[in-house]
Amino acid sequence: MNHRSFALLGALLLSTGLVACSSSDDPSDGTAGGRTALDVWLMRDSVSAAFQEEFEKGFEQDHPGIDVRVQIQEWDGIGEKVTAALASNDAPDVIEVGNTQVAQYAQSGGLTDFTGRVDELDGAHWLKGLAEPGMYEGKQYGIPYYAANRVVVYRTDLFREAGVDPAGIKTREQWIAATEKLDRGGDQGIYLPGQNWYALAGFVWDEGGDLAVRSGDGWKGGLDSPEALRAMAFYRRLQALGKGPKDSDEAQPPQAEVMAKGRIAQIIATPGGANVVTQNNPELKGKLGFFPIPGKTAGTPGAVFTGGSDLVVPVVAAHQEEAFTFIRELTGDTWQKRLALAMSYVPNRTTLAGAVASDPGAATMAVGAANGHATPNTPQWAAVEARNPIKDYMTAVLTGRDPRSAAAEASKTITTTLNSGS
């Protein structure tokens, strides 16, 4: 996942404060009193201090020969740090990485291949949006850890005033009809910035298209496909039912802050966005709800981009089997359920969706996560996001340019970037 552009979990985890914590401060060379010292890098906001302490205590009781030593890492600069670690002889044993970052690390040959052990981890039930980007060239390097995705955050009072029942919004056309009713007087039916390309990607996947597809030995941009053009046409219809800017994304200005200031019926965000809204406008506390992004048909929720993390093990890690044991426990039923409840995450497997039934936001995410997707699985996708011709394309269409020509231009840029190796 691109953690800067997605800002996926910052608002979601407002109540957690992370501190580095470990079971031992003994700076040994890998053993402590006959125990194996297992070095683990987890990312800021991945776990709370309370959950980390609980997990370490439980893990070490069940595996007394292993001394877990967690170091909390910052997202800023982590790519360079992980790359250096993989190339060194002193890498940690387990590293948390963004799910869409796995391919670039696997490409270097620096990650342990877990393909032969997927069944031991109940991999048949992994969320597709975590499992697929954890693969590279048909091999499984990243083990799904946790997920989060966008939902519709809505004002219950504005829905009630407009006579709209959110329970009746199951399809995209029903969503449009409801939003038209909500877009009245001084109210905005939805605040949807013109460059929310993650939302567009979901509509593209709903239509059966993709942002880029394999073409021979390379890649081809997919925005000019009939499926993607239909997705952009739907985005344009939805975006018009509000006053969102056509030339910026959901972070500029922060859409939750915009919702807090006006009579805006809906935004597309992670559930944590609701916390930001009420922080900026306490009068809206208790007036926000969630429903999954609707799909084309009532039986299938809308496709969503699955953000989140995978766990990887460097090839040079000193304690391969202990690292696998750590991953098996942290991604297993018991601790996935506890993590999901503690952090309002979506568990890594579809069979565990019920674990968050008591959390409205997380439960809504879990519904969408069943139809979760990831960006094209290539190390070069990061270069596409850095330049992001998708945003420019969306603005061009929303400001009147011919969709076909704008899509062809953006697709050509994506094709060139993905095949350049840059």
Q: Band of the pLDDT at 34, cuts 50, 70, 90?
A: confident
Residue 177 has pLDDT above 50, yes or no: yes
Residue 24 has a pLDDT of 38
- How crowded is residue 22: how many other Cβ atoms within 10 Å of its Cβ? 18
At 122, the amino acid letter reads D
pLDDT one-digit tens code per residue, 222-259: 999 999 999 999 999 999 999 999 999 999 999 999 99
Mean local confidence (pLDDT), 257-283: 96
Distance (Å, whole) CA 202 – CA 216: 25
Q: Band of the pLDDT at 45, cuts 50, 70, 90?
A: confident
% of the chain residues with pLDDT over 70? 92
Residue 152 has pLDDT above 90, yes or no: yes
| Helix (H/G/I), strand (E/B), else coil: 304 | strand
Q: Sign of the C-alpha dihedral, residues 209, 127, 47, 269? A: positive
Please give the model's pTM, rounded to 2 decimal places: 0.86
For the domain spanning 3-149+306-373, the CATH number is 3.40.190.10
Residue 265 has a pLDDT of 98
Residue 161 has a pLDDT of 97
Q: Band of the pLDDT at 14, cuts 50, 70, 90?
A: very low
Q: Band of the pLDDT at 147, cuts 50, 70, 90?
A: very high
Residue 19 has a pLDDT of 33
Residues of CATH 3.40.190.10 domain(s) within the chain?
3-149+306-373, 151-304+378-420
Residue 369 has pLDDT above 60, yes or no: yes
Mean local confidence (pLDDT), 7-11: 41
Question: Please, are residues 375 and 100 in contact by the beta-carbon 8 Å criterion?
Answer: yes
Paired strand residues for 290: 153
- How crowded is residue 257: how many other Cβ atoms within 10 Å of its Cβ? 14
Mean local confidence (pLDDT), 63-87: 95
pLDDT one-digit tens code per residue, 329-360: 999 999 999 999 999 999 999 999 999 999 99
Residue 9 has pLDDT above 70, yes or no: no
pLDDT one-digit tens code per residue, 109-146: 999 999 999 999 999 999 999 999 999 999 999 999 99
Residue 76 has a pLDDT of 87
Residue 158 has pLDDT above 90, yes or no: yes
Distance (Å, whole) CA 208 – CA 202: 10
The first and second tokens of residue 220, run together, are: 């081809």
Rounded mean pLDDT of the chain?
A: 92
% of the chain residues with pLDDT over 90? 88
Residue 20 has a pLDDT of 35
State the residue for tokens 């509000």.
242
Mean local confidence (pLDDT), 270-276: 93
User: 397-402: which pairs have CB atoms within 8 A and are 24 or more residues apart?
Assistant: 397/232, 397/236, 398/194, 398/236, 398/239, 398/246, 399/246, 399/247
Distance (Å, whole) CA 258 – CA 267: 10
Q: Which helix (H) or strand (E) holds 323?
A: helix 320-330
Residue 389 has a pLDDT of 98
Report, at the CATH architecture level, how domain 151-304+378-420 is classified: 3-Layer(aba) Sandwich (3.40)
Mean local confidence (pLDDT), 389-400: 98
Residue 228 has a pLDDT of 98
Residue 22 has a pLDDT of 38
Q: Band of the pLDDT at 367, cuts 50, 70, 90?
A: very high
Residue 23 has a pLDDT of 38
Distance (Å, whole) CA 407 – CA 5: 22
Residue 3 has pLDDT above 50, yes or no: no
Paired strand residues for 148: 307
